Structure 1
Amino acid sequence: MQNCDVFLRPCTGADLAVLEAWAPTGNSRTHAMRFSHQEAGTSTYYLAACRQEPGAIVGTCELRWDGCAASEVPRCPEANGLQVWPPVLQSHGIGTQMLGLLEHGARERGHHTLGLGVGDPRPKRLYLRLGYVDTGQDYLDRYTWIDEHHEEHHVADRARWMMKPLTGGRLEAGRL
């Protein structure tokens, strides 16, 4: 699938079993949690597929309309949990296409910026190339996962907040 023309569609309840088979989240039930946010109206949980093979999921991302859960970052919609799966599909432009479509969707809803958190230098370089600005704001990305014994594990990973102007303006670190 080296030539993948990506399209996004919102997740449906019928997709949850397929998503768990595609990218298992075990007892954490991450796909179901993201779908519940969509059902509550606070986000859209998007599935990515290639027009060449529309039944095959190649990625997911939750677009949180109410922004990042961390209160210390500037308020704007957040692209959260963007993933391309399986790993053999990564670094072929699928994530870049997904971000472009997410940006378009946010712009259509009247938003002027899109934010995302990043903890790994490799995707950060990509986001910078795509016009995201490093705001200089570090925060703790907090989440919980549940192991096979149903024990909760609370995680707080350091992340850097990045934002992109969607309406042709410019953002500069320190002036957000």
Structure 2
Amino acid sequence: MSGMQPCDVVLRPCTATDLPALEDWAPTGNSRTHAMRFSHQEAGDSTYYLATCRQDPDTFVGSCEIRWTGCAASEVPRCPEVNGLQVWPEVLRSQGIGTRMLGLLEEEARARGHHELGLGVDDSGPKRLYLRLGYVDTGHDYLDRYTWIDDAHQVHHVADPARWLMKPLDGESPESTRS
């Protein structure tokens, strides 16, 4: 996808046969992040969505996981979590692909009966975008914990400070629909 024409984004769940192509598209090395996210989907905890353009359905332009079980951090309000939203390669960023992906993820969560969708941010640039898209800063700070494995197979544990944002999917305030 050249980035010259607008992308009509299509989302679909990842399949096992997608994993080699995903590693070619956005390599995760020894961390095997695509396979890990797919395993979460296979366990029923999430859906790992792949984004393509309708004009070129064989080329990935993004990926994202919705964790239906919510964020692992206990200090944030419970709701499904958008995790690892990416548009790749970088040349495709700032063309509305991520925004359209997020809109489709919100539609999917709504269709499954969820009233809110949450995500964590650690950078003011994306935070401003999410706020413009209707996400609300809940005031909850937490540590986004993850592990990655380098080329020497050394395991690295990371804890990045993040801020929890939520979007009401039915027009109410984010915490008013929590049970």
TM-score bucket (shorter structure): over 0.9
Q: Is 1:131 paired with 2:128?
A: no
Corresponding letter in the other structure for 1:111: H
Distance (whole Å) between structure 2 residues aligned to residue 95 and residue 149 of structure 1: 33
With normalisation by structure 1, the TM-score equals 0.96
Work out whether 1:140 is the aligned partner of 2:136: no
Q: Secondary structure at the match of 1:61?
A: strand
Residue among 156, 159, 175 paired with 1:156? 159
**Matched residue SS, 1:125:** helix
Q: Pick one of 104, 108, 112 that aligns with 2:107.
A: 104
Counterpart in the other structure of 1:170: 173
Q: Give the alignment's Cα RMSD to 1 decimal.
A: 1.3
- 1:73 aligns to what SS in structure 2? coil
Task: State the SS of the aligned residue for 2:174.
Answer: coil
Listed one character per residue, the Cα deviations across residues 93-123 of structure 1 (whole Å, up to 9, x for unaligned) are 0000000000000000000000000001111
Following TM superposition, the consecutive aligned residue runs of length 4 or more in structure 1 with deviations greater than 3 angstroms are: none
CA distance in 2: counterparts of 1:108 and 1:63, whole angstroms? 13
Q: Distance in 2 between the 1:14 and 1:94 partners?
A: 24
Aligned to 2:66: 63
Identity %: 76
- Residue of structure 2 in register with 1:16 after alignment: 19
Gap runs ≥5 in structure 1: none
Note if contact 2:116-2:174 (Cα within 8 Å) is conserved in structure 1: no
Correspondence for 2:9: 6
Any residues of structure 2 matched to 1:14-93 within 5 Å, and which?
Answer: 14-93=17-96
Give the drift of 1:171. Answer: 3.1
- The two structures have a TM-score, normalised by structure 2, of 0.95
Consecutive unaligned residues in structure 2, runs of 5 or more = none
- Paired residue total: 174
